[in-house]
Structure 1
Amino acid sequence: MVAVDPPPREEAVAPALKRSSSIERIPEDARRILHRLAGELWGGDVDPSALTVSQLKGAMTNEVFRITWPGGEGDPRKVLVRIYGQGVDVFFDRADEVRTFECMSRHGQGPRLLGRFANGRVEEFINARTLSAADLRDLEISALIAKKLREFHDLDMPGPKNVSLWQRLRRWLEEARGRCSEEECKELQLDKLVDEIAMLESALSVIDQTVGFCHNDLQYGNIMIHEETRQVTLIDYEYGSFNPIAFDIANHFCEMAADYHTATPHVLDFTKYPGIDEQRKFVQNYLSYSGEKPSDAEVERLLDLISKYTLASHLFWGLWGIISAHVNKNIDFEYKEYARQRFDQYWQTKPTILGPN
């Protein structure tokens, strides 16, 4: 998806752009798509020397490039080229992700898919601003995100409606243990996580809760806003699947500890996790999407669930970080240190959230 300039973790687009006049950075099959698009979209031809290739920094799964060439009367033509990260297909089925992308586009929820090539795709460039870390704390923007997320969760997406979280955690754990050395497994306590995942599933699955189509990666770089209309768009659905909506909100709250556009983008500050008043306001906005005011009991019930699902979020992204450290060598990010922080936060907060064993 695409931004006007500012930032993204997964499809995070950053304020800092690596500029290169060389189209050679783009695979040849993608260049053929760009050539075709020039004629189809704007009735012109692509002059390779006129193209500007800008790498959007902050992405942690794929490499993302903004391609610009001159248009009429100073109006630049732009598209996005996304080159899939090395080895990241271990996290999701790419064919499922493309179907989700196309379905979202039909629902008017994101950019159009303009073309696919062997290791990536070309997307419509949307003229909106990608959020920054600070934007998540803006009360107006937070309310807009809450309402958009409720709309997203209510989408009638095709395919099975089963919760994917627990199966995915088990699959990622198996993948992580298979790639880590015995020393790494011991250091990160991976062998303990089999029982932890089972315990969480047992504790949380018996609770009556709403399941919807979840984004599962709602960090600030995957949220865009049109400055004039204030319309919010959620982008990059690679991790999307049906899950308890409390997990999606919990993950969003955890992302407030991150700023992926610092000198140390992997470092998290969990003192920035939203306080109870901020959480409550978000949940109230989420539940009042249809115009009805939620009861205090509804709000408190969802807040309690969200707190519990933060534990699942820490395991989810901790395992992601460990696997990424072994498979994704193209992105400059300290995946293992990031994973270590998520696991540490799991062990530190578990007794408070679930009580002593």
Structure 2
Amino acid sequence: MIVLKVSVKEDTDNEFSVTVRLYGPNTDLVIDRKRELQAIPYLSAAGFGARLLGIFENGVVQSFINARTLSPADMREPRIAAEIAKELHRFHQVDIPGPKEPQLWDDIFKFLKKASALKFKDNEKQKRYETISFTEIQDEVQELKDLSDLLHAPLVFAHNDLLSGNLMLNDSEGKLYFIDFEYGSYSYRGYDIANHFNEYAGFDCDYNMYPDKDVQYHFFRNYLQPDKPSEVRAQDLEALYVETNTFRLASHIYWALWALIQANVSPIDFDYLGYFFLRYGEYKKQRESCFSLAQGFLSELRNG
């Protein structure tokens, strides 16, 4: 996606700025544009993102937001993290008309089907691609879905791509903005939070930056009770902690498969194939601890 700031001059000689977003080639393979355009007016009416001013064949025109884009370090700052949590709570309250079924697993299985049928022109890429076991990934996705289903995570309209580049802050007003709802859909509360936490890794993809339990609890308190974060019950914190860190794995699988498709079609000079191995490798690294956390929690519930 390409974003342009354009200044427009009115007949009265007043100037105002708009943002023109141009869709990249083949992005329809990983983004549901119909779903995005359906949601934008309702999110805009609730005060999220830029106002939608117009739609054309390969993009949209929106109002210009006077704010700076956050860095990964900004997201980790406790005061800003609390504001993100509160705003995410509000975002999850928005009702988008239409079907309310979660799209996460449907999207992952669609990505898996596309990713498993690729052919690369570059011989080296093709050799790396052929080392991937899609049967293994299929089994992993199904097992993770079965486990996460047992948690009965609340369904919300989720942003699904809350990285630092999609967060903006007007420092003088203290106003935080969520932008770019391309991947928005009805999904699981814990997935949206986990996906955000994974983005603490930043552009260097340093997953050692994933927040520890104390940092997560700070976020959860402000998410669960924005007005009275100190009054959140311990059992609610624990439940959200387990939920989030189970869906942490789903986030890695989602973006790993996304990257494989991009490796085959994107004109951007980026090692998407390497990014697949990075995200799937992190999935495998975290799998045992995350599964054990969820299984132990469910066992306590059954025996409680």
TM-score, normalising length: structure 1 = 0.75
Q: Distance in 1 between matches of 2:27 and 2:128?
A: 20
Identity of aligned residues (%): 36
Please list, as runs of the form range in 1=range in 2, the aligned pairs for 1:185-334 lying within 5 A after superposition: 185-259=129-203, 267-289=204-226, 291=228, 293-329=231-267, 331-334=268-271
SS of match in other structure, 1:64: strand
Q: 1:175 aligns with which of 114, 136, 142?
A: 114
> Is residue 281 of structure 2 the alignment partner of residue 344 of structure 1?
yes
Unaligned runs of 5+ in 2: 121-125, 296-304
SS of match in other structure, 1:224: strand
Q: Which amino acid aligns with 1:210?
A: P
- Does structure 1 conserve the Cα–Cα contact (< 8 Å) formed by 2:44 and 2:50? yes
SS of match in other structure, 2:117: helix
1:290 CA displacement: 5.1
SS of match in other structure, 1:163: coil
Partner of 2:86: 147
TM-score, normalising length: structure 2 = 0.88
Q: Which amino acid aligns with 2:154?
A: T
Q: Which amino acid aligns with 1:147?
A: K
CA displacement, residues 205-234 of structure 1 (integer Å, 9 cap, x when unaligned)? 022321111000010111112212212121
1:96 CA displacement: 1.8
Partner of 2:70: 131
Q: Which amino acid aligns with 1:227?
A: D
Bigger mean CA offset, 169-178 vs 121-130: 121-130
Partner of 1:101: 40
Please list, as runs of the form range in 1=range in 2, the aligned pairs for 1:103-122 lying within 5 A after superposition: 103-122=42-61
1:289 CA displacement: 2.1
Q: Distance in 1 between matches of 2:3 and 2:217?
A: 35
Q: Distance in 1 between matches of 2:55 and 2:174?
A: 30
Partner of 2:301: none
Q: Which has the higher helix share?
A: 2
CA displacement, residues 112-170 of structure 1 (integer Å, 9 cap, x when unaligned)? 12222221122110112211111011111100000000000111111111111111100
- Does structure 2 conserve the Cα–Cα contact (< 8 Å) formed by 1:188 and 1:340? no
SS of match in other structure, 1:213: strand
- Does structure 1 conserve the Cα–Cα contact (< 8 Å) formed by 2:20 and 2:61? yes
- Does structure 2 conserve the Cα–Cα contact (< 8 Å) formed by 1:65 and 1:82? yes
- Does structure 2 conserve the Cα–Cα contact (< 8 Å) formed by 1:177 and 1:185? no
Bigger mean CA offset, 283-292 vs 309-318: 283-292
- Does structure 2 conserve the Cα–Cα contact (< 8 Å) formed by 1:64 and 1:80? yes
> Is residue 272 of structure 2 the alignment partner of residue 335 of structure 1?
yes
> Is residue 5 of structure 2 the alignment partner of residue 66 of structure 1?
yes
Q: Distance in 2 between matches of 1:289 and 1:153?
A: 13
CA RMSD between the two structures: 2.2
